[in-house]
Each structure stands twice: as structure tokens, then as C-alpha cells.
Amino acid sequence: TMVLVSHSMEDILQVCSRDSTPKSQRDAAVVALLLATDISYASMSRLTIFNVRSNGSEGYTISYQRKEKEEQTVDLPTTACKSLSNWLGIRGQNLGPLFYEIKGTDRVLWGQTMTESSVRTLLKGRLEETKSIVTQPESVNGPS
């Protein structure tokens, strides 16, 4: 099992926010939800458009199953709302899974739900991206 500390998740969110491809927008929304809730990867893969409720100006509430327990409902913080809103702008309001599989960076596989292992793969790959960014020196001569 992979455990990510929240600062790594914040780094991943930053990496995803750097471009507007469907894949980056979806990944940012997934990471933002993981940061904002205690949702499991399995529950994440079962989310549909019905689990998301708009509660006014760019605000969202998400409901999901916590393991075998009751349904959990969370008002998402601003950053998560922004990421989710960006993804929903691409995804649209059509019925089906909240998160679709994506081939490459921009071929959304409509109707094909993102799996639990896809969430893990996304996090591993994005974590690698953050390492390459973090290890790059800001400037050769220091601050100017």
C-alpha cells in the first residue's frame, strides 16, 4: 500500500494545475477530493455525477460511502471546488461515472469509469513528476 503525506498531495495538485489537458484536470480533481475527504480509492472509483451537488456559486458537496459504513457528505473547500469545477467543465453533466479513464492526455473514454488501480497509478506517476520538479534548482546563480 502506498501512503502519501499531504504535502506530496499538495505538490501533485500543483503539477496537475500546470496544464489544461483533460487528464490534468481530472487528476487535479481526484487529488483535491482525496485531500478534502477520507474517501478510499475504491469509493472514488464508484462515484457518479449523482454524488456531486452544487451548493451555489462554484461550491460543491460530495457524498460517498465510507467502507461498509454510512454515507459521508462533505462540503468541499475552495481549492477542491475549483478543481472539480474545471473537470466538470470538460466532463459535462451527463449521467455516468464522475471520473472517466483517459488515454494519453486528452482522449476521454466516455462511459469507462476510472478504476481503483487507475487512481493508484495516477498518484504514483504524478508523485514522480513532483520529484523531478522539486529536484530542479530554481536558478543557477540564486535569486536575482
**HEC assignment per residue over 114-141:** CCHHHHHHHHHHHHHHHHHHHCCCCCCC
Per-residue confidence at 47, pLDDT binned at 50, 70, 90? Answer: very high
pLDDT at 67 over 80: no
What pLDDT score was predicted for residue 137?
A: 52
CA distance 114 to 103: 11
What pLDDT score was predicted for residue 5?
A: 55
Q: What is the largest CA-CA distance in the chain?
A: 56
CA distance 80 to 86: 10
What pLDDT score was predicted for residue 144?
A: 47
What are the φ/ψ torsions at residue 115 (nearest 5 degrees)? -90, 170
What pLDDT score was predicted for residue 134?
A: 56
Burial of 12 (C-beta count, 10 Å sphere; 0-12/13-18/19+): buried
Report the chain's mean pLDDT, rounded to a whole number.
Answer: 87
What pLDDT score was predicted for residue 66?
A: 78
Helix orientation angle between 78-91 and 6-16, rounded to the nearest 10 degrees: 40
72-112 per-position pLDDT tens digit: 999 999 999 999 999 999 999 999 999 999 999 899 999 89
pLDDT at 136 over 70: no
What are the φ/ψ torsions at residue 50 (nearest 5 degrees)? -70, -20
CA distance 67 to 89: 29
**Contact (CB, 8 A) for 33 and 86:** no
**Contact (CB, 8 A) for 31 and 16:** yes
